[in-house]
Amino acid sequence: MTLRNANVLLSIDPIRGGGITRFCWRGIDIFRHAAKSDPGPLGLSSFVLVPFSNRIENGRFCWQGRSVTVPPNRPGEAYPLHGLGWLSPWSQRLATPDRLVLEHDHVGDVWPFPYRAAQDFQLLPAGFRHRLSLTNTGAFPMPAGLGFHPYFPRPGARLAASFDGAWETRPDGIPTTWSPLACMPTWFGEETIDTVFTGRRGPLAIHWPTHSVTIEPSSGLAFTTIYCPSGADFFCVEPVSHITNALNRPGLASSGQQTLEPGACLMVSIDVLVERTEA
């Protein structure tokens, strides 16, 4: 499914996790073009994180007195990763030339909490707005987390953002220690990074020699995971609602982990806007 206006082309594949396969502005690929060599979700341009972000340590957590085990969901991964939505087909609920709404229903199995998730893609003159919602369709309170996982081309990139702190992570991606940041130095694409940042102030700005991208997350996305593996030609800037492994930090009030009562809905969004910067 492809949405178009005068400036923007946005292609989405409902079967591949409702993920974005191309985001193009005035002929420039803004997100990494979906990898032809990887037809799975990790080859997408962007996907959503629902009903949790990133990893759950050892695939186990305790929820309201109940022990929950979630198996790994990707080959080579020790822990469950990025939720369920990115690995599930989504159904089309609305389609116009500049808007698409998708839904994904989970009845409860490896993740024992039924829910309905919805994505709403809306083109804007300089980019698009992406809304994501999670509704508890079960009879009991459920843990809730949401986020967005876009991939950007690495060559020539420079990220400018402001945060109040960052979580150091172990080699397996699990945060260990939070440290305050007096200021966030500009990050250049040559550096390897895998960190969860806290206390974002203002939007996220990414600059290339010819254009710049601004990501404006909604207030419910208080954390930002920045991921750039060694040797990769991409990096990820992920606005998320909780830190990695928040389900195993019940005593940490600032983890962002939320409880969704039966029938309740959690909604977040990002605006992704592009402008030309060359002289």
Tens of pLDDT along 102-155?
999 999 889 999 999 999 999 999 999 999 999 999 999 999 999 999 999 999
Check which CATH number belongs to the domain holding 74 and give it: 2.70.98.10
Structure token pair of residue 275: 């402008």
How is residue 35 annotated by DSSP? P
Strand partners, 259: 143
How far is the C-alpha of 107 from the C-alpha of 105, rounded, in Å?
6
Task: Provide mean pLDDT across the span 58-71.
Answer: 97
Between 3 and 189, the more confident residue is: 3
**Which residues span the domain enclosing 31?**
2-276
CB 52 within 8 A of CB 39: no
| Region class of 107: left (phi > 0), else alpha (psi between -120 and 50), else beta | alpha
Give residue for tokens 């698009």.
Answer: 128
Burial class of residue 231 in the structure, from the number of CB atoms within 10 Å of its CB (0-12 exposed, 13-18 middle, 19+ buried):
exposed
How far is the C-alpha of 46 from the C-alpha of 36, rounded, in Å?
14
Q: Which pTM does this prediction carry?
A: 0.96
Give 11-47 pLDDT, tens digit per residue: 999 999 999 999 999 999 999 998 776 888 889 999 9
Q: Give the chain's mean pLDDT.
A: 95
Task: Provide mean pLDDT across the span 70-92.
Answer: 96
160-169, 177-186, 224-233, 253-262: lowest mean pLDDT where?
Answer: 177-186
How many domains are contained in the chain?
Answer: 1
Task: Provide mean pLDDT across the span 171-193.
Answer: 83
